[in-house]
Amino acid sequence: MQDAQHLERVRLEFLRFEIPKGPKGDCSDGYLKIYLKGQETTDSYDKFDYEMCGGDETKPSVVVSDGPRLVMVFSSGELMGRGFKANYTFETG
């Protein structure tokens, strides 16, 4: 049996998102990468769950981790954007 802490998941809800796409229309300039499964513990940074750039229309509204960890890596790139705003909460069950 697991205690409540091991059942926690991180819930990330985006309220605003603007990281400009690169010249090729991809995330080669600025990006936000999200890791939901603890990939950072094995240095598996190439195995992200989400790579996001663009405007509000390109972001997921909610992201939920598999466990009590969620890692985000943000690169601002060369192009100017407003960035992002998100709320996080912990869920059990």
pLDDT in tens, the chain (93 residues): 345 556 799 999 999 999 999 999 999 999 999 999 888 888 888 899 999 999 988 888 899 998 888 999 999 999 999 999 999 999 987
The answer to whether position 62 is within a domain reads yes
Which of 72, 60, 48 has the alpha carbon at shortest distance from 15? 60
The answer to whether position 72 is within a domain reads yes
Range of the domain at 66: 14-79
The answer to whether position 87 is within a domain reads no
The answer to whether position 66 is within a domain reads yes
The answer to whether position 25 is within a domain reads yes
The answer to whether position 3 is within a domain reads no
> Alpha carbon of 44 to those of 1, 57, 84: distances in Å?
29, 28, 24
Which tokens hold the place of 57? 């229309």
Which of 60, 84, 73, 78 has the alpha carbon at shortest distance from 23? 78
Q: How many domains is the chain built from?
A: 1
DSSP state of 57: G
